[in-house]
Amino acid sequence: MGNRIVSVLQGRRVAGTLDLPLPSDITSTVRPRTIEKGLHWLRNQHPMDEDAAIMARIEREEREEEERLYRHVKEQGLDRPQSGHWGARLGDGEDIHGESVFKNIREKNEARLLAKEEKERKEWLEGEAAELAKMQKHLKKNTQLQKYNEAAVVEGKFSRPRADPKERPFLAWAQKHYLRAENTDTDFSKLSTAGRLLPALGVTLLTLGLCYVYAETYEPPKEYKRLWRDVPPAAATVLGIMGVNFAVYLLWKAPPAWRLLNRYFISVPLYPYAMSVVGSIFSHQQVRHLATNTLILWLIGTRLHDEIGRGNFMAVYLSSGVFGSITSLTAHVLLGRLTITSLGASGAIAGLVATWCMLHSNDKLVPSFLPHEWRDSVSANGSTVLAGIVLFELFNLVSPFKVAKLDHWAHLGGYFAGAAWAMMHKPKLERKRQEERGWIDRFVSGS
């Protein structure tokens, strides 16, 4: 057994197969320690490069595998062309699947889109002169614009050269939406005074009627049905209006919305859209304008809301705003000031101020921030305060010194609508207050 072990181990050393299991007759009768001692004796007595033998064995096995596969291919006849596409063109990177159809289609589409983009870019950059000629032709065709300085009319459109979409993509994108929002294809000379005013007047009358119906039929929701249960009703209403105003303000910062806003959220006497008398009430382009109207709306609106209720409040706000818009539009059209634009909630807020003043026409109104010892000397009843405000608006309207660009006609229309509503509803509100007081007195006396 000892000779057999030494003979097998030496054969494995020469063949490079020491990693293979030994025969079972050896492993079943001889301890591994004895086998290790035999291998150690062979390495001392007969040294050799066992690693080289292993590498030779690996190379021998690879050659044998190649020869076996070759014999198999020959036997099966696989060494001859099988698919009928012998020598066909390979794809990128010697891809055996050939050329990619989808890749070819994609490359053609990319080239077509790039050519289209480059063509549109050239048309955009070269179209400024054509747009200027179109605007000058537009000015000559519209007799209503001939009285204005041509340079002043086109200054806003061509004050900045067109931006290259590759170099300044955002500016070019904004300029395209600006030109798209401009109405330069309509012959404004065909619009008469009636054509400019009657559609807007119809929308105004419809809005006033709907406000009246809303005020008469509105019923406050139950407490458990309110959306903002923890917010007082007055604050909820005013915050809702503020939210709409702020949302429209943000839309003015988005160029894709300019076309919609130019039609329905700003009043333009030259080509008025009827619904703009409503949309312009909620429209602001400057943060200072929005902040001023928001502050006054909060200070006056919440107090007036608590006094007259949500139905009457919304009716006063919308009707005053729409009446202020139609007043401004009518004044500018009749005076021939067709390029003056108007927007903002000032007319609606003016209506709230006038309503508050007329409901307290006989009450002394005192600014809350004044010291108590000053209040008697500077107090005035509501009608006097409103008269002073209206006189101030009229003075600014005719004065050559303009402190700020304000639409005084819209303000005056709002004051008139608010004051008219207050005078019509004040007796009704007084009767309601007396009924509530009588009910409270009866309840207290009965208790």
9 vs 137: CA distance, rounded Å: 107
Q: Give the three-state DSSP class for 155.
A: helix
HSE toward the beta carbon, residue 203, CA cutoff 13 A: 20
Q: How far is CA 370 from CA 54, 290, 302, 378, 424, in A?
A: 106, 27, 21, 9, 32
* Main-chain phi, psi angles of 164, to 5 degrees: -75, 125
139 contacts 150 by C-beta, under 8 angstroms: yes
pLDDT per residue of the chain (447 residues) written in tens, 0 to 9: 889 899 999 998 898 888 888 888 888 888 989 989 998 999 899 998 888 988 998 898 899 998 888 887 777 766 555 555 556 666 676 666 667 778 888 889 988 998 888 888 777 777 766 766 666 666 565 555 555 444 444 445 555 677 777 777 777 777 777 777 776 566 677 778 898 899 999 999 999 999 999 999 998 888 777 777 888 889 999 999 999 999 999 999 988 888 899 889 999 888 888 999 999 999 999 999 999 999 999 999 999 999 898 999 999 999 999 999 999 999 999 988 888 889 999 999 999 999 999 988 877 765 555 455 555 655 678 788 889 889 988 888 888 776 567 889 999 999 999 999 998 887 877 777 666 666 655 655 555
> How many residues in total does the chain contain?
447
414 vs 408: CA distance, rounded Å: 10
pLDDT on residue 154: 45
349 vs 418: CA distance, rounded Å: 9
Residues 6+ apart with CB under 8 A from 54: 16, 18, 19
9 vs 37: CA distance, rounded Å: 11
The pair of three-digit structure tokens given for residue 89, joined into one six-digit string: 């063109």
Q: Give the three-state DSSP class for 365.
A: strand
321 contacts 414 by C-beta, under 8 angstroms: yes
Return left, alpha or beta for 241; rule: phi > 0 is left, psi -120 to 50 is alpha, else beta. Answer: alpha
The pair of three-digit structure tokens given for residue 4, joined into one six-digit string: 């057999």
Q: Is 199 exposed, middle or buried (0-12, 13-18, 19+ CB in 10 A)?
A: middle
* Main-chain phi, psi angles of 380, to 5 degrees: -155, 150
100 vs 35: CA distance, rounded Å: 62
Query: CATH number for the 192-445 domain, one of 1.10.10.60, 3.30.499.10, 1.10.645.10, 1.20.1540.10?
Result: 1.20.1540.10
The pair of three-digit structure tokens given for residue 88, joined into one six-digit string: 């066909």
pLDDT on residue 398: 83
Task: Provide the residue ranges of all domains of the chain, joining segments of one domain with +.
Answer: 1-76, 192-445
293 contacts 349 by C-beta, under 8 angstroms: yes
Q: Is the pTM of this model over 0.75?
A: no
Which helix (H) or strand (E) segment holds residue 364: the answer is strand 364-365
Helix intervals (H) in 18-100: 24-27, 32-45, 50-76
The three-point CA angle 260-264-266 to 5° equals 105
The pair of three-digit structure tokens given for residue 312, joined into one six-digit string: 């009457």
410 contacts 316 by C-beta, under 8 angstroms: no
76 vs 66: CA distance, rounded Å: 15
397 contacts 409 by C-beta, under 8 angstroms: yes
Picking from 364, 409, 369, the residue whose alpha carbon sits closest to that of residue 383 is: 364
